[in-house]
Structure 1
Amino acid sequence: MDWTTFLEPITLSVQISIIASIIVFIVSLAVAYKMSRARFFGKSIVETLLLLPLVLPPTVVGLILLVLLGRRSWIGRAYEALFHGPILFTWGAATIAAVIVAFPLAYRSMKAGFDGVDNDLEDSARAIGASEWQVFRFISVPLAKRALTSAYILGFCRGLGEFGATLMIAGNIPGKTQTIPTAIYVAADGGSMSMAWAWCGVMLLLSFVMLLLSNRITKDD
């Protein structure tokens, strides 16, 4: 076995998942808290749009991203002018795909956590002069911390296993954009079943450990 070939997709997948999960955590934290406390017309429509990538086929998400980030789009042109190169078929594109597909899962978990916080505690804090930031930091977040931590772990796992959208906008370039799922697909398609099963084993181990950790955090007092 070529260890360099074997380790490259693993290293890249873990790096992408860590970056994507951090981005997802920050964005989901703000959006979930706001959506949990806000009351406005059309809220159900906004929530549906936020959760849509969770139920759409990854190839559909990938096609949408392909159009939005391509060289003909204003986003693609702006990125290329700023960084002197296209965003598609780079590790950055793979990170974007992981962020998009992981966000709904993390958002849903975080919102459930914030929905479970007693509003009377927040109102009491406001009544004695606490600012919205203080209410958020010292009451809402600590009381929902298990859901927030679980959301981060689930976001990491979802980003780690992303395949369809990643393949469409980042491709399968060894050492550059080849993640574990795409490496498994290519290896199995080419008849290299030993490599495919080895990568499957790594994916199963990583996912099992992260989900076990999530369950422990969720259930423990």
Structure 2
Amino acid sequence: MTIAINFHKAKYTLSAPSIRECPPEEGIEVAFAGRSNAGKSSAINTLTNNHKLARVSKTPGRTQLINFFELSATQRLVDLPGYGYAKVSREQKEQWQRYLSEYLRERQCLKGLVLLMDIRHPLQEFDTTMLNWATESNMAVHILLTKADKLSRGQAGSALMAVKKEIKNAGLADLVSVQTFSSLKNTGVDDLKAKLQGWLAPESDEQSETEELPEPQ
């Protein structure tokens, strides 16, 4: 039986400018990506119940780095650079995009991608670019429609259905799942944890591996 992951034990380990400086290809990791205003840091902090954890990526010099958070010796969360709003040169943006694409395509221990989008403005150009990079590599993607508290329940439900319809029409329903999320209201956290549990500690794992997982508090 797989032991439940204790996301509260997440701790920052390192930041890498490119795939070449990433940790060794051991264990399993799940990456979080999203536009700079999508609420990525808030979502990671809410998931881990540590409102200072993702602040690491906001310190000078780290905003465009790949940030790693350890859950256990064999499980990691990865905070990818926010994209879309950085005031830098076109050349610098293109370099970041190359690094992101390289990471998504070549990182063998990457199990899935959590793609965050503001529920009021989903599937923007950068979002679809990330989605395409991941699905071209046959990688599972879980779309997190953040800031759902900004809409009424009916509006949020309609937005969710609209995104699901676009994913289905694009022929990606087998690889891509979608949910609503609100860090402010703390809603959708259990659904996100269930998705990450399935990716980071699949039922098919050997017992010797699951025994290394931290005990839930």
Q: TM-score, with normalisation over the residues of structure 1?
A: 0.23
Structure with the higher helix share, 1 or 2: 1
Higher relative CO (CA 8 A, sep ≥ 6), structure 1 or 2?
Answer: 1
Q: TM-score, with normalisation over the residues of structure 2?
A: 0.24
